[in-house]
A and B are shown apart, each in its own frame.
Chain A
Amino acid sequence: MKGENFENQAIIENVSRRNMLKGVATAGGLVVAAQFLPGVAMADGSQAFQYKTGAGGMPGGVVWDPHVFVSVATDGTVSIVTHRSEMGTGSHTSLPMAVADEMEADWSRVKVVQAPGDEQKYGNQDTDGSRSIRHFIQPMRACGAAARQMLEMAAALQWSVPNTEVRAENHQVVHVPSGRKIGYGELAKTAAGLPTPRLNTITLKDPSEFRYIGKGEVKIYDLHDITVGKAMYAQDIRPEGTSYAVIARPPVVLGRAKSWDAAAAMKVPGVLKVFEIPPTPMPAKFAPLGGVAVIAKNTYAAIKGREALNVKWDDGPNADYDSDTFKQQMAETSRKPGKMERNEGDVDKALAGAAKVIDREYYIPHGHHATMEPPAATCRIVDGKPEVWACVQSPGGTRGDVAKLLGVPEDHVTVHVTLLGGGFGRKSKCDFAQEAALCSKEMGGQPVKVIWTREDDIQHGFYHSVSYQHVTAGLDENNNVVAWRHRSVSPSLMSNFMPDPKRESALELGLGLIDTPFDVPNLRLETGTAPAKTRIGWFRSVNNIPHAFAMQSMVAEIAAETGRDQKDFLLELIGPARIVDPRKDTSQPLWNYGDPFSTYPIDTGRLRAVIERVAQEAQWGKRSLPKGHALGIAAHRSFLTYVATVVEVGVDENGNVTVPRVDTAIDCGFCVNPERVRSQIEGAAVMALTISKYTNITFKNGRVQQHNFNDYRVLRIGEGAMDVRTHIMPHGIETPSSGVGEPGVPPFSPAFFNALYNATGKRIRELPLGDQLQA
Chain B
Amino acid sequence: MRVTVNNQVQSYDGDPQMPLMWYLRDELGLTGTKFGCGIGLCGACSVHVDGKVVRSCVTAMSDVSDHKVTTIEGLSPDGNHPVQKAWRQYSVPQCGYCQAGQIMQAAGFLNQNPKPSDEDIHSAMAGNICRCGCYERIFTAVKTASQEV
A residues within 8 Å of B by Cβ?
A: 1-2, 86-90, 219-220, 222-233, 235-236, 238, 244, 269, 298-301, 369-374, 419-424, 451, 453-455, 675, 679-680, 682-687, 708-710, 714-718, 721-724
Contact = CB atoms under 8 A, between A and B. Distances in A.
Given A227-B99, A687-B131, A708-B39, A235 B88 contact: no
B34 A89 contact: no
Contacts of B29: 1-2, 238
Interface centre among B19, B33, B87, B136, by most chain A C-beta atoms within 10 angstroms, is: B136
Contacts of A226: 87, 93, 96, 99-100
12 contacts: A226-B100, A227-B84, A229-B33, A298-B26, A298-B27, A372-B131, A374-B36, A419-B95, A679-B91, A685-B133, A717-B126, A718-B139
A722 B136 contact: yes
Interface string B32-63: 11111111011010000000000000000000
Given A453-B38, A722-B135, A231 B22 contact: no
A229 B24 CA distance: 13
A453 B41 CA distance: 13
A216 B100 CA distance: 24
A302 to B, nearest CB: 10
A455 B125 CA distance: 23
Interface string B48-82: 00000000000000000000000111011001000
A227 B95 contact: no
A268 B30 CA distance: 25
A602 B26 CA distance: 52
Given A714-B129, A717-B122, A717-B126, A233 B97 contact: yes
Contacts of A1: 29, 31
B18 interface: yes
B5 interface: no
Q: From DSSP, what is the main secondary structure of chain B's interface residues?
A: loop
Nearest to A93: B91
B39 A710 contact: yes
B41 A228 contact: no
Contacts of A86: 95
Nearest to A686: B133
B103 interface: yes
B95 A88 contact: yes
A718 to B, nearest CB: 3
Contacts of A244: 26
Contact of B37 (A89, A686, A709): A709
A717 B125 contact: yes
B149 interface: no
Given A269-B15, A371-B131, A718 B88 contact: no
A229 B37 contact: no
B139 A227 contact: no
A231 B135 CA distance: 20
* Best-surrounded residue of B39, B103, B133 (most CB of chain A within 10 A): B133
Contact of B94 (A227, A228, A679): A679
Contacts of A90: 94
Contacts of B110: none
B35 to A, nearest CB: 6
A420 B95 contact: yes
Contacts of A235: 31, 34-35
Contact of B36 (A299, A300, A369, A372): A372
A721 B94 contact: no
Contacts of B122: 717-718
Interface residues of B, number: 57
A228 B73 contact: yes
A235 B22 CA distance: 11
A12 B33 CA distance: 24
Contacts of B73: 228-230
Which residue, of B27, B98, B131, has the highest number of chain A Cβ atoms within 10 A?
Answer: B131
Nearest to A689: B133
Given A244-B26, A373-B34, A229 B100 contact: yes
Given A220-B93, A682-B136, A683-B94, 19 more contacts: A226-B87, A227-B84, A227-B87, A227-B100, A227-B103, A228-B76, A228-B84, A229-B32, A229-B72, A236-B25, A236-B31, A238-B31, A298-B22, A371-B131, A372-B130, A421-B97, A455-B38, A685-B133, A717-B130
B90 to A, nearest CB: 10
A737 B56 CA distance: 44
Contacts of A710: 39, 41
Interface string B1-26: 00000000000000100110010011
B45 to A, nearest CB: 11
Given A229-B100, A372-B131, A299 B26 contact: yes
Contact of B31 (A227, A232, A709): A232
A722 B71 contact: no
A453 B93 CA distance: 23
B103 A373 contact: no
Given A718-B122, A721-B136, A238 B26 contact: yes
A682 B29 CA distance: 33
A715 B133 contact: yes
Nearest to A235: B35
Interface string B118-130: 0000110111111
Given A419-B96, A708-B39, A708-B41, A718 B134 contact: no
Contact of B88 (A224, A455, A724): A224
- Give me the 8 closest cross-chain CB pairs, A-B, nearest first: A229-B32, A686-B133, A421-B97, A718-B122, A88-B95, A88-B94, A229-B72, A226-B96
A333 to B, nearest CB: 33
Contacts of A88: 93-96, 132
Nearest to A219: B91
Given A227-B99, A229-B73, A683-B94, A709 B129 contact: yes
With a 10 A CB-CB cut-off, give which of A453, A680, A716 has the most chain B CB atoms.
Answer: A716
B11 to A, nearest CB: 16
Given A227-B84, A227-B87, A238-B26, A721 B96 contact: no
A710 B129 CA distance: 12
Contacts of A686: 130, 132-133, 135
Given A682-B133, A717-B128, A709 B96 contact: no
Given A227-B99, A724-B136, A421 B94 contact: no
Contacts of A2: 29
Contact of A300 (B19, B39, B137, B138): B19
Nearest to A304: B15
A485 to B, nearest CB: 35
A685 B136 CA distance: 11
Nearest to B41: A709
B19 to A, nearest CB: 7
Nearest to A421: B97
B88 A223 contact: yes
Contacts of B18: 298, 300
Contact of B135 (A87, A420, A708, A717): A717
A2 B26 CA distance: 12
Contacts of B133: 682-687, 715, 721
Contacts of B84: 227-228
